[in-house]
Chain A
Amino acid sequence: MFVWNARIILKTCGTTTLLKAVPRLLEIAKEVGLTSVDNMFYSRKKFMFPEKQLIPHSSFTHEVRSLFFFFFALTDFSHRTKLQVEFLDGVFGKLHNNLETEGSTSSKFGSPSTHPPIIPTKFHVPPLKLAPITIKLSSLALNFQSSLITDFSHNSQWFGLCVGKVER
């Protein structure tokens, strides 16, 4: 773990549950006056023993849904923030198709008033051993939506809540 004044890198292996750190990291940052997220990156290598991983790393669907939840929760659509999700591996053609146009290497969600984001609820699950994933959020001055973060455990509502934010 590397900690700068306004930046943190967490690198773990084994059966760690890295994505579970995100909601708490947001709280910790807020407590020291860092109230916005400028960039967030998550990636992982191919697991050798995917069956040993714990939630949310135990399935590709869980992992991607967690990421989408964080990214949508962190995205302030009312300020025309653009959410850019890149899947840096050609394996995820079907996932792309769910999100946007076929053959695209990235999906961009613009202003919700004209283009509400399509929230995928079911993912094609590629074989985990073949599936390194990288999802990147690149944006400016995103405001925390702490109420959404708090609702992290209500996984069936993850995306509904985020869409609700868009409509406001």
Chain B
Amino acid sequence: MEQSLSYHDSFEGPEKLLEMWFGPLDNVDGAGKLGLRKVERKVWDEMLSLVKCSVLNVLSNDYFDAYLLRLVTPQPHRPDDFTENLPLLQNY
């Protein structure tokens, strides 16, 4: 049973976790989006590309922004997003 377990029919679920606290805090003291929350989405996209991730969805509240990420697989032509094929489908 265990011998049949391969990377392709299983998922590398164990997580890596990085947490960083920055300062000085008086630079970000106050209400609203300050500091890291002012960073533009394209900057996060570029940073996340280093990690081989992309953003699937974003949720926010008054205190923080939550980004749902997915792994960007190395295969360039993998049709993860079927909407890319919509122009083809329209021919039928």
Contact = CB atoms under 8 A, between A and B. Distances in A.
A2 B65 contact: yes
Interface of A is mostly: mixed
Q: Decide if the interface of chain B is mainly helix, strand, loop or mixed.
A: mixed
Interface string B54-77: 010000000111110101000000
Contact of A49 (B12, B50, B55, B63): B12
Interface of A: 1-22, 24-25, 28-29, 31-49, 52, 54, 57, 141
Contacts of A40: 18-21
Point out which of A12, A54, A57 has the most chain B C-beta atoms below 10 A from its C-beta.
A12
Contacts of A52: 7, 12
B45 to A, nearest CB: 11
12 contacts: A6-B36, A9-B19, A10-B19, A12-B71, A15-B12, A15-B52, A39-B21, A41-B17, A42-B19, A48-B10, A48-B13, A49-B10
Given A14-B11, A45-B15, A46-B14, A7 B52 contact: no
